[in-house]
Amino acid sequence: MPMPDRRYYAIDHLRTCMMFVVMFGHPMLPYVTVPRSFKDVTTHIGFDIAAVFLYAFAMQAFFVTAGFAAALLFEKKGMSGLWHNRLNRILVPLLVAYVLLTPLIRGAYDFAKAVVEFDSLSAGFGVFLAGDWLRWSKLYHLWFLLSLLLFTGLTLLGLLVLRRYDFSDRLTQWVAKTLIRPSGFWLLLILFSLTTVPSYIFETGSGTHWSMQLTLLGYFMLGWFLYQRQDVITYWQTCYKAALIMALAVMPICVWSSRVRWFAEHDSDFIMGAIAGVTNGALGIAMTVALVGLFHLHMDKPTRSGKLFGQASYWVYLIHFPIVVAAGGVVAVLDAPALMKYAGTLAIAIPLITLSYYGLVLRTPLKYVIVGKTRD
């Protein structure tokens, strides 16, 4: 049975890890061989492989943890308490970050592109100082906050409808019985693969495509369900190795088909898009099952590092994007292999992100929005 007063450390640790995976993943993108809006002149196929692998499951696993946490809040604080939390912890950061960060992200891209084009830091600074980037349009990485609000509302609406027609308990029991069998994994694989396919037929698997949003909504609802039926998590602890093997087995086809789609991102391709969608969907659910099982088996306990990184992870995700893009522009002038440039990007970005957290968040009222209430 769910226990609202219990601290679910495995979920906390998994959410933290996935947010840091995204932070370490974004600096890889200038060094992939496939077309990108900002690319370094030095690339390597190894970054293609790493990017496909990480982006196939990072946000999927994150939305499972987000759905789990939302269900816990709903049971503990009710409808009003949940929406109060969504207002303070998601909507307010979204609005503030959109106003302050999205122009800076555009400016960081303008700077980095100019450095690569002219092989000159001064050219990059000249473009940045021109100020053409000072405008608002895209959400960039902040789309996940908007999705969290939307997914919370849709899940609550679906739950209210199911309860209105007295179908909630029966559906929960049927799904739980299905998922604690091997056939349950294949059912999830089929469902999430099918919802992922259109985003690779018409685009390249963008998280903001309606198909991927539907997929991520499914992961959010799966997380909500896992809070209600934690016997499914117990079963996943016994089969996480098999799920991990499945993920590794499908990865070569996933990487190959995803790269083909990336090279032809503006062209629709039914066959290759279907292959990329199915394999990305399979890799995503397999890694999610493996990670949920693994973390609950080995990391469902408090740790000092887990608390420290967990409190910082939200800020790290929000602030990292303009910093890593600009850092990628700085190292673009180096005559070095892609791996060394990636390491250089991190060497610049991580201290700046750390300083911003300790100097700007922990010493100001931002702490109560970003970190929230803390407890062991």
Phi-psi map region of 372: left, alpha, beta (phi>0 left; psi -120 to 50 alpha) = left
Predicted local confidence at residue 2, as pLDDT: 73
CA dist., res. 170 & res. 174, Å (int) = 6
Predicted local confidence at residue 128, as pLDDT: 94
Contact call for residues 289 and 239 (beta carbons, < 8 A): yes
Residue with tokens 């789609």: 261
DSSP conformational letter for 204: S
Predicted local confidence at residue 362, as pLDDT: 87
Backbone angles phi, psi at 309, to 5 degrees: -70, -30
pLDDT-flagged residues of the chain (< 70): 1, 3, 373-376
Contact call for residues 35 and 265 (beta carbons, < 8 A): yes
Residues 25-53: tens digit of each pLDDT: 999 999 999 988 889 999 999 999 999 99
Give me the helix-helix angle, 58-86 and 270-298, nearest 10°: 70
- What is the domain partition of the chain in residue ranges? 9-370
Helix count and strand count (H, E) for the chain: 14, 0
Phi-psi map region of 38: left, alpha, beta (phi>0 left; psi -120 to 50 alpha) = beta
Residue with tokens 């799904």: 175
Residues 221-239: tens digit of each pLDDT: 999 999 999 999 999 999 9
Tokens for 45? 């196929």
End-to-end CA distance of the chain: 22
CA dist., res. 289 & res. 285, Å (int) = 6
CA dist., res. 328 & res. 352, Å (int) = 13
Predicted local confidence at residue 376, as pLDDT: 47
Predicted local confidence at residue 324, as pLDDT: 97
